[in-house]
Chain A
Amino acid sequence: MLRHAINIFRLGMKELASLSRDVVMMVLILYTFTMAVYDVAKGVRTEVQNAAVAIVDDDGSDFSRRLFDAIQPPYFQHPIRVARDGVEDLLNHGDVTFVLHLPPKLQADLLSGRQPEIAIEVDATAMTQAGVGTSYLQNIVVRTAREFLDDQDADSALPATVVTRALFNPNLESLRFNAVMQVLENVTILAIILVGAAVMRERERGTIEHLMVMPVTAAEIALAKIWANGLVILVAVALSLIFVVGWALGVPVSGSLPLFLGGAALYLFAATSLGILLATVANSMPQLGLLAIPIFVVMNLLSGTTTPMEAMPEWLGVAMQISPSTHFVALSQAILYRGAGIETVWPQMSWILCLGLGFLLLALLRFHAMLARQA
């Protein structure tokens, strides 16, 4: 047992020496956990914010002017006034997402209680904005109408008030979400490719064959790659969370960082094992690259970092349970946003561990077959 541990340690140190000599690779890793995270977090807004609105005003009344004033930042940009025949172009170019049509005699109908109709045209190809934005606009219009009618606080006419509070991220800032999720996505890509390609390179150069003649087992070779590369990524993640996410982006991290890093270590074990498995399936570096694409794209985009798991059809949600990233994302959200402890995230941790062991076992079973194919 000690013998195995020593071999794994020695081989891993070799791995670290190797990696440190590939300067381009080190620069890429640095970029991945600094600028790439920063730019995405700063650039992308998942919430309705700054949404572009245009209004076709065929009424020209006081009420329509009130509507112009009611639509305000931060959710919406100040609406632009547009003629009926200009609407098409604006929508076609994607310049605005919403267009309000205020019909003639709107104010008159409103005052006489004839319940006039206001149409909102929505560019429904912008799915993330369209749904939520429409309901926000509906609310604004109704409230403004009420205020206008009673010329007093419209809510007074409503029988009850709904007060919404968001816990864990009171202003629902997407920056706080995206910064951490981008770190997770980059971890997935890096873990799979770094280790998969490291195995493939040793195959192509024949060094792995040399190792297999020495008193070293396939499991030792695999575990050495896993701990060494995993450690590099883990350190990068920790630094990225503290300095880029925490310090540069100012995102508060509520939960226990050590607990999260523990989960990340488990995840790195699973993802790197998957990388090794892919390297035993592909026959050359170009094949490995192509094989990795669908794997990491699915692992990233369908794991809950981009769209909520609740938005997935049930069969896919079930299928995604075999991706360790799904559990890792759930775990990270629980720890880092909601401050959950180990009593909450242990099921995810066990899942990740089991999947990792499964991948590793499959990879080792394929190891000898892979060497035979090589010859």
Chain B
Amino acid sequence: MASGAALRIDGLSHRYGKTVALEAISFAIPQGASAALVGPDGVGKSTLLGVIAGAKRIQAGQVEVLGGDMRDRRHRRAVGPRIAYMPQGLGRNLYPTLSVVENIDFFGHLFGLAPHALAERRAQLLAATGLAPFPDRPAGKLSGGMKQKLGLCCALVHDPDLLILDEPTTGVDPLSRRQFWELIASIRADRPAMTMLVATAYMEEAEGFDHLVAIDQGRLLAAGPTRDVIAATGAAHLDAAYVALRHRDDGVTPPPLVIPPRTQHDGAPAIIAEGLTRRFGDFVAVDHASFRIERGEIFGFLGSNGSGKTTTMKMLTGLLAASEGTAELLGRPVQAQDIATRLKIGYMSQGFSLYEELTVRANLTLHARLYRIAAAEVKPRVDAALARFDLAGVADALPGKLPLGLRQRLQLAAACLHRPEILILDEPTSGVDPEARDGFWRLILELSRQEAVTIFISTHFMNEAERCDRISLMHRGRTLAVGTPAEIVAAEGVDSLEEAFIRQIARAEPESTTAAAPAPVSARTRQIPLPGFVQRPLAFARREMIELIRDPVRLAFAFLGPVFLMITFGFGISFDVDHLTYAVLDRDQSLESRTLLENFQGSRYFLEQPPLYTEADIDLRLRSGELKMALEVPPDFGRDLLAGRKPEIGVYLDGSMPFRAETIRGYVDGISLDYVETRLSSTATGVLPVSVQPRFRYNQDFKSVVAIVPGVFMLLLMLIPAMLTAVGVVREKELGSIANLYVSPAGIGEFLIGKQLPYVLLGFIAFLLLAGLAAPIFDLLPKGSITALALGALLYVAAATSFGLLVSAFVRTQVAAIFAASILCMIPTVNFSGLFYPTSTLEGTGRIFGMLFPASWFQTISLGVFDKGLGFAHFLPQLAALAGFALVFLGIARLLVRKQER
């Protein structure tokens, strides 16, 4: 790269609705440099990194990455394999059920590495990151630090020229953090040409980078070599320099945070935990935690992600039952159902757990009301909270659109609204910039010192831990130390809390310190064995497959559901209507009327009920649903009959279900013909002039099973595969792993096909299972071309999964995806595809609907092969139609899914 700039940004602006994330940002970063991106809130920084990585669409401005314009799709595609992007959030780009090795392999396959090159690269990375001892551990079960190292492995597997990391060490314990940066340093030493851009919330980390980009409220504050930026402000270190930069315009520098001394309060401790333990299976999440927290004390819970902080807090709130040990809050043992105690506690969970679909004010109002604040008091209380927590300006905004810092303040406001005596705050400042964190702490100190609120707070920031009255160090569920920060530092004989913590962890876990020594990572080994358009879909497919296998409950539902339904329907649905209740109003009571009625009594279809006495009874008992039919024999029936006066027999049917009524009418016709025939033959005037002999084709015994089971195949092989894929794309959107698609060289089509393949296979296995069971259970064997049936099933399942993907691409939430898949599949399969009613009798839009949905086409194959014994050649149009549906649905889905975020 001759120009020397790996990255050049000019006038970049980005907004979400009315919120401005970036405003006319311009800077450049030379090739081979390492640059830190610092700024107050999560939104602007992540947006900037997302745009540079090609994951987000450029709204305005120029972005040039590795010598090309990122607006140009071809350049993005070409440069994609040279960029690695690790989004914000622990393990956000990882797949939690996949193991360490499988995660790395997925990215390796996606970027087209040859097997032996991948194996070599993987071994190097695992050794360098110290993950080598845990190749088979699922990513979801790794500690925060290990997750980030694995994320880095995945980012580095294809040997990128530009490495973009979004807050990689947020939420990671200090030892792992230190190891992480050592690892980065060794990689940089090995690959000096690689450019690095890292967003971070830790100023001391940022100080170690050669370049600095500082932004605030979407505007660029400063960009340039770190040393120059600090020198320009005249500050001693970056922390102060950043604060100076932010307040350059308003000239106001916030006063440093002062911690007022704690006033002693009398009385029993607010929180007591004694040997608190929680196990999940073999895994001990919290191992005998014990502490006593005085009223008004700020008690800090320090530890990395996965160290058991959250679990302990959940046990204190009663959300989780303790496996062992006891906990007391305000002198009462913790009980899940104890509403009185809940009223005195405020809780702020780690993720954002307020309603994103309600405005800030509505969320607070809901809280106030649920916390039983008197109606007249609600509005003043909410207004006061909006003012105190500086939220008045965003009162009518939706929380989802606010920066993280504001959202956390909203959560604290909600937790404090009912003036609780205890506040339990689970990492309230995670992801919040330093200045906003100070503001947050001012509020916490005010609550503790002035209102004697007991505060139990967890954090992974050392400088926050230093502000606590006492802290507890937690690691892997165990409490390593408890005391005032000064005591803990003194006990280790070091000069900082961070150092003390690192020593404690190192002692608790000797093996992890050795992992830090990085092995050399060798030169590039890219090689493409298969064409990318084959390899990439396979990479997605393999990953999806592993995830599917790791979710045995879903697999079981996918197989047992259809089997259960086939058996129920095979035995359950029948058109052989019997046990029909009827009653007789016999106004003749003659020999002839009794002979006539005997014909009905003898029928296996009818069940006689107590007789009717009046005409009004007929209506009454039919209306109540007790009778399905009423027979009325007129007075003098016998006499009229013998005299040849053709008496009339009245039959009244319950017409509320037309199919049943028609069936009864058919039975009645049959019975009266029989009666006439016997009567005629007995009076010797002759028999019926012709005899009509029905021959039931394809189903000699006229058994419902034969007609229904092939239809059940049609129904199930549509519903299940469509449901499986319907949640596919939306779920990745909701969980965030779709970012991997945005920055990978894979196209949407490759992604969709990759997602589809495992479910096509699954659907086909379900078909084999159903066909295999239909033979012994229903004695139903395919009489015709088995090839046509199997090929038809395969194409049909492909069409069904394509339809699911189409639904998935169309909707925004998983809820809507599930509902849409259900209703849109059920209506045509049940009604318009020949399951119960032959398609030749359909009318209007129903007929068109049936033609435009794959189910009716497969129904023809299923019936044709199972019942009619037809050969392969009969089904060519149907097979072609099914293949067409699969392609068209997939094609539309391809157009609906976007390769970039807005």
B823–A36 contact, CB under 8 A?
yes
Knowing A91-B697, A142-B692, A302-B568, the reply to whether A289 touches B623 (Cβ < 8 A) is no
7 A–B pairs (Cβ distance < 8 Å), ordered by A: A32-B823, A40-B827, A120-B692, A145-B689, A145-B690, A289-B817, A339-B623
B557 at the interface (CB under 8 A from A): yes
How far in angstroms is the closest Cβ of chain B from A195?
A: 10
A45–B561 contact, CB under 8 A?
no
Knowing A18-B355, A22-B813, the reply to whether A193 touches B690 (Cβ < 8 A) is no
A371–B319 contact, CB under 8 A?
yes
How far in angstroms is the closest Cβ of chain A from B810?
A: 8
How far in angstroms is the closest Cβ of chain A from B871?
A: 10
A17–B823 contact, CB under 8 A?
no
Knowing A126-B707, A288-B818, the reply to whether A172 touches B625 (Cβ < 8 A) is no
Q: Which residues of A contact B561 (CB under 8 A)?
A: 290-291, 293-294
Bound CA–CA A266/B670 (angstroms): 42
Please name 16 further chain A to chain B contacts, defined as beta carbons within 8 Å, in addition to the given A125-B863, A194-B815, A206-B349, sorted by A numbering: A31-B823, A43-B832, A43-B843, A50-B843, A115-B691, A165-B651, A177-B657, A200-B815, A286-B727, A291-B561, A296-B826, A304-B657, A307-B574, A338-B624, A344-B625, A375-B311
B743 at the interface (CB under 8 A from A): no
Which listed residue (B366, B657, B813, B842) contacts A25, Cβ 8 A? B813
Q: Which residues of B contact A239 (CB under 8 A)?
A: none
Bound CA–CA A166/B707 (angstroms): 28
Knowing A163-B651, A174-B659, the reply to whether A138 touches B692 (Cβ < 8 A) is yes
A186–B832 contact, CB under 8 A?
no
Which listed residue (B318, B347, B554, B849) contacts A210, Cβ 8 A? B347
Q: Which residues of B contact A217 (CB under 8 A)?
A: 337, 339
A6 at the interface (CB under 8 A from B): yes
One of B163-171, B718-726, B785-793 contacting the partner? B718-726
B577 at the interface (CB under 8 A from A): yes
A44 at the interface (CB under 8 A from B): yes
How far in angstroms is the closest Cβ of chain A from B315?
A: 10
Near B by CB (< 8 A), chain A positions 143-187 give 145-146, 148-149, 155-156, 158-170, 172-174, 176-177, 185-186
A17–B840 contact, CB under 8 A?
no
A166–B661 contact, CB under 8 A?
yes
Determine the main DSSP class of A at the interface with B: helix
Bound CA–CA A28/B824 (angstroms): 9
Which listed residue (B575, B579, B727, B860) contacts A285, Cβ 8 A? B727
A122 at the interface (CB under 8 A from B): yes
One of B119-127, B153-161, B368-376, B457-465 contacting the partner? B368-376
Render B664-702 as a binary contact track against A, CB cut-off 8 A, 1 for contact.
011111101100100110000011111111111111101
B575–A128 contact, CB under 8 A?
yes
Near B by CB (< 8 A), chain A positions 1-15 give 3, 6-7, 10-11, 14
A197–B814 contact, CB under 8 A?
yes
Q: Which residues of B contact A340 (CB under 8 A)?
A: 623-625
B402 at the interface (CB under 8 A from A): no
Which listed residue (A42, A122, A146, A339) contacts B697, Cβ 8 A? A122
Q: Which residues of B contact A194 (CB under 8 A)?
A: 815, 819
Knowing A94-B860, A135-B666, the reply to whether A149 touches B696 (Cβ < 8 A) is no
B577–A311 contact, CB under 8 A?
yes
Bound CA–CA A288/B827 (angstroms): 20
How far in angstroms is the closest Cβ of chain A from B304?
A: 17
How far in angstroms is the closest Cβ of chain B from A89?
A: 9
B697–A141 contact, CB under 8 A?
no
How far in angstroms is the closest Cβ of chain A from B754?
A: 17
B897 at the interface (CB under 8 A from A): no
How far in angstroms is the closest Cβ of chain A from B82?
A: 35
How far in angstroms is the closest Cβ of chain A from B631?
A: 9
One of B70-78, B217-225, B250-258, B640-648 contacting the partner? B640-648
How far in angstroms is the closest Cβ of chain B from A141?
A: 5
Bound CA–CA A173/B707 (angstroms): 24
Near A by CB (< 8 A), chain B positions 42-66 give none
Near B by CB (< 8 A), chain A positions 83-116 give 91-97, 110, 113, 115-116
Q: Which residues of B contact A176 (CB under 8 A)?
A: 658
Knowing A24-B812, A128-B575, the reply to whether A165 touches B650 (Cβ < 8 A) is yes
B669–A213 contact, CB under 8 A?
no
Q: Which residues of B contact A292 (CB under 8 A)?
A: 818, 822
Near A by CB (< 8 A), chain B positions 741-776 give none
Bound CA–CA A214/B342 (angstroms): 6
Bound CA–CA A210/B695 (angstroms): 67
How far in angstroms is the closest Cβ of chain A from B876?
A: 13
A333–B822 contact, CB under 8 A?
no
B370–A216 contact, CB under 8 A?
yes
B320–A298 contact, CB under 8 A?
no
Top 10 A-B residue pairs of the complex, sorted by shortest distance between their CB atoms: A43-B846, A166-B655, A169-B655, A337-B656, A124-B699, A290-B557, A135-B666, A124-B696, A210-B353, A197-B815
B522 at the interface (CB under 8 A from A): no
B320–A375 contact, CB under 8 A?
yes
A289–B726 contact, CB under 8 A?
yes
How far in angstroms is the closest Cβ of chain B from A228?
A: 13
Knowing A118-B692, A169-B658, A215-B342, the reply to whether A125 touches B706 (Cβ < 8 A) is yes
A297–B826 contact, CB under 8 A?
yes
Q: Which residues of A contact B660 (CB under 8 A)?
A: 308, 310
Near B by CB (< 8 A), chain A positions 304-360 give 304, 306-308, 310-313, 316, 330, 333-334, 337-340, 344
Bound CA–CA A39/B846 (angstroms): 6
A162–B659 contact, CB under 8 A?
no
A132 at the interface (CB under 8 A from B): yes
A72 at the interface (CB under 8 A from B): no
B696–A36 contact, CB under 8 A?
no
Q: Which residues of A contact B650 (CB under 8 A)?
A: 163, 165
A272 at the interface (CB under 8 A from B): no
A126–B689 contact, CB under 8 A?
no
Render A196-210 as a binary contact track against B, CB cut-off 8 A, 1 for contact.
011011001111011
B622 at the interface (CB under 8 A from A): yes
How far in angstroms is the closest Cβ of chain B from A340?
A: 6
Which listed residue (A40, A141, A344) contacts B692, Cβ 8 A? A141
Beta-carbon nearest neighbor of A145 in chain B:
B689
How far in angstroms is the closest Cβ of chain A from B636?
A: 12
Bound CA–CA A182/B353 (angstroms): 38
A142–B688 contact, CB under 8 A?
yes
A137 at the interface (CB under 8 A from B): yes
